[in-house]
Amino acid sequence: MAVAVLIGAPAFLLWSTWASVDYAWACYEFWSIYAVCLWLTDENQTARKWLVLAGMMSGAAASIKYLSLPILLIVGAIVAWKSIERVKQPIGGRVTNLLFFGVSAGLVMGIWYIKNWIWTGNPVYPLVFGGRGWDPLENQVLNDYVQTFGTGKTWLDYLLLPFNVYAHHDRFATIPIEVIHPAMWLSFFFPFVAKPNKILKVIPAYAALYFVLWAVSSQVVRFLVPLSAFAAIMTSVVIERSPLVLRNLLKFGLLGGLMILSLIHQIGTIQNTGVWGCFIGQKSTAQVLQGINNNFGTVLYIQSSLAAHDRVLFLWDGRGYYCDERCIPDDEQSAAIRLSIDSPAPQELARKLDKIGITHLMLSSPDASWFIFYHDPRGLHRKALDYFTDIFLPACGKPVFRDAGMALFELTCH
C-alpha cells in the first residue's frame, strides 16, 4: 500500500526519470534510519555495525546535498536518545555509540568537504563563507531564490500549510505537478494507531523533526523526497487500522483514484511529448526534445547556423547540456543581473562582452518571468529584464532567431 501512495503522486514517476541526485539522496537517508532501526533490534555485541552503516549512509547523503547536514544531526540525536534509554549500557558505551555513528559519517562525507575546502577555500561552498568566484551579488540572488518558496513563515502560515501547499502549490514547487500526496497527511495519526515499540518511536520522531525542519527552511516539495518513503509506510499503517468503511474508501477511492489519475497523466505526457512516437520510430529524438525542452530549437539553430568561433551567452537559462562549446549556460541564472548592474551604456556592455568572446545573447523569457513572479523580492530580475529588453538589445542586439519563448540576438556594437 505504501507503494500505491508513492505511485499516486505524479511527480514521483517524473523525478525517477531525471538525471538528478534526489533519489540517491533519498535512498541514503532511508537506509540510514533503517540501519538505526536494525541497531535497536539487535542485542548482540556486534550491533554497533549497524551504527557504522547508519553513519556511512548519512555521510553519503551529506556528500550529495548540504540539506542533509541538519538531517545528519537529527539522526545523531536519535542515536543519542536511544543510547540514553538503554539503562543497562554504561555511559562510556553510550558515548561510543555516538562515536561509531559520527566517525563513520565524518569519514565518508569528509572526503567531499575537504575537496571543497582545497578547491574553493570553503568546505560548504558557496554557503556561509563564500569563496572563489562567489561574490555578495550572487549570494544575494541565491538567498532571494531559496527564501521565497512557500507563502510565508508566520504562525498563521504554518497553521495553513496543509491548505497552502495545494491552494498555492506553485509557490512550493519547481514544476507544476510537484504536490504532496493528500493521503500522506494521514501519517500524522501514526503515533496514535501504532503499538509503541523501539522502532515505532524512532520513525515518527525522525519524520516529525524532518518535516518541521522542512517547514521552517526550504518549503520545496521536492525536498520532501527522503521523507516520503517513511510517510508512505506510516500512511499505509493508519489506513489498514482504520474502520472498514473508511479503510475501503481510502484504499479504493483516494489511493486507487490518484493512482489512476497519475497513470492517465503519465500516458498523456508520453503521448503529448512524442516519446511514444520515438519508441515506435515515428519521431526522432531531436523532435521529442524540441517538444520537451523549450530551448532545444534555439540550440539546434546555434549548432547548425553559427560559426564554430561564435559564443552565445544564455540569460536566465542554465541548460547547456544539448549544446557544444558555442553555448555558455547561465548556471547561477544571475548573469543578466550582474551585467545590468548600474545600467551601463549599451556600447560599454557590448565592448565588455566582446572582450570575453561573446558574440550572441539568448534571452529566455519564460525563465526570467518565473523568477520575477516568484523569486524576486528586491526586483533585481525585473530591472535586469527591463534593461536588456528596453535599453541594451534595441541598441546593440539584432534578432536572428525566436522559438518557444527563447530569443537569440547577434551583438552589433563593438
- Tens-digit pLDDT profile for residues 99-110: 999 999 999 999
Give the integer Cα–Cα distance in Å for 406 and 294: 8
Q: Which of these ranges, 36-50, 228-242, 345-359, has the smallest mean pLDDT?
A: 36-50
Q: What is the pLDDT of residue 155?
A: 94
Q: State residue 399 phi and psi, 5-degree precision.
A: -65, 130
Q: Of the given ranges (4-8, 69-73, 290-294, 311-315), which has the lowest mean pLDDT?
A: 290-294
Q: Residue range 74-89: average pLDDT? A: 83
pLDDT at 83 over 60: yes
Taking only the tens place, the pLDDT of each residue in 238-269 is 999 999 999 999 999 999 999 999 888 888 88
Length in residues, the chain:
414
Q: What is the mean pLDDT of the chain?
A: 91
pLDDT of 360 strictly over 90 = yes
Pairing outcome for strands 312-315 and 406-411: unpaired
Q: How many CB atoms lie within 10 A of CB 314?
A: 28
| Helix/strand/coil for 358 | coil
Residue 45 has pLDDT above 70, yes or no: no
Give pLDDT tens digits for 285-319.
888 888 888 999 999 999 999 999 999 999 999 99
Question: What is the mean pLDDT of the segment spanning 136-143?
Answer: 89
- Is 0.85 surpassed by the pTM of this model? yes
Separation between Cα atoms, residue 235 and residue 241, nearest integer Å? 10
Distance, CA of 386 to CA of 382 (rounded, Å): 6
CA 261, 264, 269, 272 torsion-angle sign: negative
Cis bond before residue 126 (omega within 30° of 0) = yes
pLDDT tier, 372 (very low <50, low <70, confident <90, very high otherwise): very high
- As a whole number of Å, the end-to-end CA separation of the chain is 64
Rounded percentage of the chain residues whose pLDDT exceeds 90:
68
Q: 145-171, pLDDT tens digit by residue?
A: 999 999 999 999 999 999 999 999 999
Q: What's the pLDDT at 288?
A: 85
pLDDT of residue 384: 96
Residue 267 has a pLDDT of 85
Given CA atoms 328, 334, 337, 341 in this order, what sign does their dihedral have? negative
The CATH code of the domain at 289-411 is 3.40.50.12610
| Chain mean position to CA 155 | 25
What is the domain partition of the chain in residue ranges?
Answer: 2-266, 289-411
Confidence of residue 89 (pLDDT cuts 50, 70, 90): low
Residue 60: per-residue pLDDT: 96
What pLDDT does residue 136 have? 86
Q: Which three cell numbers stand for residue 92?
A: 562510556
Residue of higher predicted confidence among 13 and 39:
39
- Model pLDDT, residue 17: 76
CB-based burial label for 196 (10 Å; 0-12, 13-18, 19+): exposed
Q: Over the range 7-35, which residues count as b (16 or more CB within 10 Å of their CB) and which as e? A: bbbbbbbbbeeeeeebeebbbbbbbbbbb
pLDDT for the residue 87: 57
Rounded Cα distance between 230 and 29, Å, is 10
